[in-house]
Amino acid sequence: MFSHTDTMSGASATLIAAVAALAAGIAEPGPARRDPVAATSEAISGTLVPIMLADAIAARCRWADPAGAASRDAALARWRRANGVAPFEAALAAVATQAPELAGGRERMRAAAAAQAARTVAADPAACARLPATLAQPQYRIRRITTRATPLLHHLAAVLEESVRPRRAHAAR
């Protein structure tokens, strides 16, 4: 697997406070965590990993086994709908618009997922045929987190926009 921990160098106090609030809403229940930013990063990364792996395996299989692409793409589309992936990704995009420094971590995760998918399909071509069954496994059941995180991420994007707007206006002068 790959690491999902990235630092948010230069993040404003507003970003950290908003992320801490986000962590309280989407982090796994359990003992209180000492670092809400790490908890949020883990929750979001833990949700992005299955999304990126599913997309990467499907993409790699389109190349490796084009004959089965339509059925795999349909299974992937059903999985994405059932797990609220599109609204979650839209909310993440809204946050990234306000905090572009977060995009680097996502791109590294996407590249790692593509590399892992290439290794998986090369080592086991039958992985393509098993994609629908793979998507049914517990680690790919992410709806609970995407459902909780989506409105919180939209709120975070709004908070960030409010904190960035005065600086942008001042910089434009």
- When pLDDT is averaged across residues 133-157 and rounded to a whole number, the result is 92
Residue 5 lies in a domain: no
pLDDT at residue 132 greater than cutoff 80: yes
Residue 77 lies in a domain: yes
Instruction: Report the pLDDT value the prediction gives residue 100, as an integer from 0 to 100.
Output: 82
Instruction: Report the pLDDT value the prediction gives residue 72, as an integer from 0 to 100.
Output: 96
Instruction: Report the pLDDT value the prediction gives residue 8, as an integer from 0 to 100.
Output: 33
Tell which phi-psi region holds residue 161, choosing left (phi > 0), alpha (psi between -120 and 50) or beta.
alpha
Instruction: Report the pLDDT value the prediction gives residue 10, as an integer from 0 to 100.
Output: 35
Question: In the chain, how many domains are there?
Answer: 1
- Percent over 90 (pLDDT), the chain: 52
Instruction: Report the pLDDT value the prediction gives residue 167, as an integer from 0 to 100.
Output: 59
Residue 148 lies in a domain: yes
Q: What integer best gives the mean pLDDT of the chain?
A: 80
Question: 3-state SS of the chain?
Answer: CCCCCCCCCCCCHHHHHHHHHHHHHHCCCCCCCCCHHHHHHHHHHHHHHHHHHHHHHHHHHHHHCHHHHHHHHHHHHHHHHHCCHHHHHHHHHHHHHHCHHHHHHHHHHHHHHHHHHHHHHHHCHHHCCCHHHHHCCHHHCCHHHHHHHHHHHHHHHHHHHHHHHHHHHHHHC
Instruction: Report the pLDDT value the prediction gives residue 34, as an integer from 0 to 100.
Output: 58
The domain in which residue 48 lies consists of 13-19+35-167
**Alpha-carbon span 172 to 166, nearest angstrom:** 10
For 5-44, the pLDDT digits (tens) are 333 333 334 444 444 445 445 555 555 555 666 677 778 8
For 41-83, the pLDDT digits (tens) are 778 888 999 999 999 999 999 999 999 999 999 999 999 999 9
Residue 57 lies in a domain: yes
- The residue with tokens 């299955």 is 50
- When pLDDT is averaged across residues 146-167 and rounded to a whole number, the result is 84
Instruction: Report the pLDDT value the prediction gives residue 4, as an integer from 0 to 100.
Output: 33
